[in-house]
Structure 1
Amino acid sequence: MLVRNIGRATKLNNLKAGNLFSAEIRDKMCLCIAVEASNESGLLDAVVLFPGHPQLDGAPGLLANSVFSQRVIFAYDNAEIRYSPELGAVIPANYNLEVADKPLFLLNSNVYIHFIHERWSEKTVNLLTGKYEEVNRQEAMYAAKWHIVWKDEAGISYPICTFKAADPSKDDTPK
């Protein structure tokens, strides 16, 4: 029998910033990315990507590590974030996409996500490093459609999750 192990059961303090993992929050499985500590503890925090922070109506948001520090989580080994190459999936930053739409944004060769850090604060994290960065989002391109996939040894990709922002150029108001 062949078993392809896509990840491992572990704890948040065994991960590095930038690692993707799933965990249960309020009886729902969530997909998160480990990020650098936002306080003096030095322990990793997590940004909930899917379905979004439980108190933020689906928008990605920060959960302090205390939520995960004693829980077993599932870390995805060889998980990748890919933005869609199709025409119109990468759009100029002048579109005003909401945080709840979960767009990635691309600046130079780095990939970022903007999320709600505290009730009235927002932050940006580099998804390649899991570290906070101050960036000018007006100089970026947004990836309005992106996927998280797991890639096996043969190079075959399996979807874990897909995100698609609303198209701000379309008016869906009933006429």
Structure 2
Amino acid sequence: MADEDKDRLIAKIMETQRRLQYLFAHDRSNPLFDAHLTMPQLKILLMLGAGGGASGQELQRFMGVSLATVTGIVDRLVAHDLVERHEDPHDRRVRRVVLTAHGRQTVERIIMAGTDRQARVLRRMSAPELEVIVRATELLVTAVEADVAEERAEPVAENLH
């Protein structure tokens, strides 16, 4: 397949995805508005949800702000019972920030928002149509996993030189 054909198909997929995002936006935005989180608080919660926990220094690097700023954000998240601090089992000088049960539920609600509507929409489709979507999403997940693995391997390869 010629590069221009691939580019045309990619552009069509991206436009369709954009349309879907707007159609599902209302369902997905409700948990964000209900949570009453600032953008920095949301970023930290999502990072912790993906990684399982982080030190203050890791959060500082991730956020690109001062340690004092991170401490203030984490203090507010602790006050709302979304995160808690624990001693790092490998280094007692380090405090790790992890999600509480309430924090995990909040992240889950945000990440999974819109799934009820998505399931309702998928039920409108025939079994053969659903099989096409299953195959397409499996292919997409495989490509994303390969991209993530390559991205993670790049810094390691750079350190070897």
- TM-score category of the 2 structures, normalised to the smaller one: under 0.3
TM-score by length of 1: 0.24
TM-score by length of 2: 0.25
> Which structure: larger Rg?
2
Structure with more strand by fraction: 1
Structure with more helix by fraction: 2
